[in-house]
Chains A and B, each alone.
Chain A
């Protein structure tokens, strides 16, 4: 099962490696991990997407909670939540035709940027599942894919 774990972390040097080290040392999966400032200037919020059965997830949460730099841990997938990710896809101009371009610009979740060298960058903000679907649809022509990893928040 896929799970999103949200961690509020002290802004201490080394705090990030404590979390990353925990996952590798105990061979827990990481599908994605993102860190950024939070509402508290002395703490960052980290979103980890991982997978495992209930016992593994219980251990991940407990082990994270045990780290001294971790202020708060919550598993957000078991309740109502919103999850979003951003992806940039670079495509060479020559691999895209007019009609395709039109389809892309009609899609409200996508934004199309053009670079100086005549490349196209598609910006996509959506749930990872939708992003995966979209990426699969342009799989053959994508030159570079940059994804942020998910962030999520409970919505109940």
Chain B
């Protein structure tokens, strides 16, 4: 009898299995917030040491933190929240991760299976609500599926074009017991992320590359996701092709390289947008021709042959027809092109006259600003931060003018240093994502460039930063306006500033101090450098620098919605 029992596999509760799965997956950090439906899981987390749980102050913060963690490392971010309001609070973050292809897995508690569909306390149809903003989602309805589903979730989130995966777990599943085996591999017949690259397409592209007289490489976040920055840089340097980046792609090609045309699009540089408009060969790499990039579609790059390299076939020819579509992992595709050009020592055309033209455009110096005596220009703060940190800091940002100035003026020489919300444009992203970045890079300098409106959307995370000793530097470009809204109202609504003035602002210095951090208000342009240096020197402290900046400054250049690229407003 006894022997019989010994032979039997040990049984574990769903909650125990959950924690074992994270361990087996190599996850050591989870951002979350407890509640009724996930209490069994929290109890198990409490009993062990291999998975650390970070308690945020709002579920949106947990998801943004997981995004920051994932974007600045090579690991997926993990979130754990409760059912109902826990899940709904997480949705903004999930949608954000979906738009920007960030590999995260979000575990949501759910009411007991017997109660599902009964409008039970804290019940919400999480799988239904999140369906349009996830790469995929699952509900676990049998504890025997727990390990397999979790394995699948991580696999789906981090392969192919990455994205968020939600796993909804009813409470009774975390009590039920079964054996634990973590599958070594998963296969799903309806999901095959490893695409076979078509060599014929590569040959066609190479032919165009070698004949192009006015080429441009337009590289986006897909290059960073595929860890292909080195390859892209190598190829572009060999070919002597100009490179422009999308907002998400910044850092995938060295920002201080002379071949870099800066960011393109609505607030992109004159030279980047003009080159896109006039080029004869447009090589899009891991980018998706977003409407903030293309402006007016029928006037976009009218004379170019478009080569589009992307891992997601549905991104190709979605907005702009690709003449040469290349579907595959960006890194593999670039390596194939390198083999057929550089490795064979084949030379592209002489591009002197194209570069002459580009240098002519560059003379407009379209990101320029004038720092006057009395009032701090927001661009000046970003500029000084760049110089003082030598371009080596991790920079997160919120959404608005400050985000554009950060993107324009901080030159990113390495990938995964620029962490922002591009697709969804989520105010509130900056601070919590900086927490994730700091956890992934504990010894690095992490700065959050924000505005006085955005920072208030997730300001509660200052408390999380204190609890875990995160020495983030918050660079608040305080113009007392929702600046980007004010700018649009100035240009397109005859200066009727409806609801864009930020009245009743808190004293940010006192606020930060009340959370146990350090804060300084900076009003004089002469104090900008010393404030930044002092903040950086406070290595163990979160420092909030409240820069009082010119409220009337606008982001230039600007292409109005629906205008063509060569119709930029320069000042």
Interface residues of A (CB under 8 A from B): 10, 13-14, 17-18, 21, 25, 55, 58-59, 62-63, 65-71
Contact = CB atoms under 8 A, between A and B. Distances in A.
Interface string B163-192: 000000000000000000000000011110
Contact of A62 (B135, B136, B137, B313): B313
15 contacts: A10-B190, A13-B139, A14-B127, A14-B139, A17-B128, A17-B131, A18-B131, A55-B317, A62-B313, A66-B312, A66-B313, A68-B136, A69-B190, A70-B190, A71-B190
Given A68-B190, A69-B190, A21 B314 contact: no
B222 to A, nearest CB: 15
Top 8 A-B residue pairs of the complex, sorted by shortest distance between their CB atoms: A62-B314, A68-B136, A71-B190, A25-B132, A68-B191, A62-B313, A63-B314, A66-B314
B320 to A, nearest CB: 10
B495 interface: no
Nearest to A24: B132
A59 B312 contact: no
B141 to A, nearest CB: 8
A14 B131 contact: yes
B321 interface: yes
Given A14-B131, A21-B131, A68 B321 contact: no
A71 B189 contact: yes
Residue of B135, B190, B313 with most partner-chain A CB within 10 A: B190
A23 B328 CA distance: 26
Interface in B299-326: 312-314, 317-318, 321
A68 B137 CA distance: 9
A151 B127 CA distance: 30
A58 B190 contact: no
Given A17-B128, A18-B131, A25-B132, A59 B190 contact: no
B543 interface: no
Contacts of A62: 313-314
A29 to B, nearest CB: 17
Nearest to A69: B190
Contacts of B137: 14
B266 interface: no
B156 interface: yes
Nearest to A70: B190
Contacts of A67: 190
Contact of B321 (A10, A13, A55, A63): A55
Interface in B321-360: 321
Nearest to B128: A17
Given A21-B132, A65-B314, 18 more contacts: A13-B139, A14-B137, A17-B128, A17-B131, A18-B131, A25-B132, A55-B317, A55-B321, A58-B317, A59-B318, A62-B313, A65-B313, A67-B190, A68-B156, A68-B188, A68-B191, A69-B190, A71-B190
Contacts of A18: 131
A70 B192 CA distance: 11
B162 to A, nearest CB: 13
Contacts of B136: 68
A10 B317 CA distance: 28
A14 to B, nearest CB: 6
A10 B136 CA distance: 14
Contacts of B314: 59, 62-63, 65-66
Nearest to B313: A62
Nearest to B327: A62
Nearest to B189: A71
Nearest to B160: A66
A62 B319 CA distance: 13
Contacts of A10: 190
A38 to B, nearest CB: 13
A36 B127 CA distance: 23
Contacts of B132: 21, 25
Contacts of A21: 131-132
Interface in B381-396: none
A71 to B, nearest CB: 5
Contacts of A14: 127-128, 131, 137, 139
Interface string B188-228: 11110000000000000000000000000000000000000
A57 B566 CA distance: 31
A55 B131 CA distance: 25
A67 B328 CA distance: 18
A58 B189 CA distance: 22
Contacts of A13: 139
Contacts of A65: 313-314
A67 B313 CA distance: 12
Residue of A21, A25, A68, A69 with most partner-chain B CB within 10 A: A68
Contacts of A71: 189-190
Contacts of B188: 68
A55 B156 CA distance: 27
A95 to B, nearest CB: 44
Contacts of A58: 317
Contacts of B139: 13-14
A79 B372 CA distance: 69
Contacts of B127: 14
A25 B321 CA distance: 22
A62 B136 CA distance: 16
A122 B359 CA distance: 76
A123 to B, nearest CB: 36
A43 to B, nearest CB: 9
A18 B133 CA distance: 11
Contacts of B317: 55, 58
A71 B189 CA distance: 7
B413 to A, nearest CB: 34
Contacts of A69: 190
A16 to B, nearest CB: 11
Nearest to A10: B190
Contacts of A59: 314, 318
Nearest to B141: A13
A62 B315 CA distance: 9
Contacts of A68: 135-136, 156, 188, 190-191
Contacts of B189: 71
Nearest to B314: A62
Nearest to B133: A25
A62 B161 CA distance: 14
Contacts of B190: 10, 67-71
Residue of B132, B188, B321 with most partner-chain A CB within 10 A: B132
A62 B132 CA distance: 16
Nearest to B318: A59
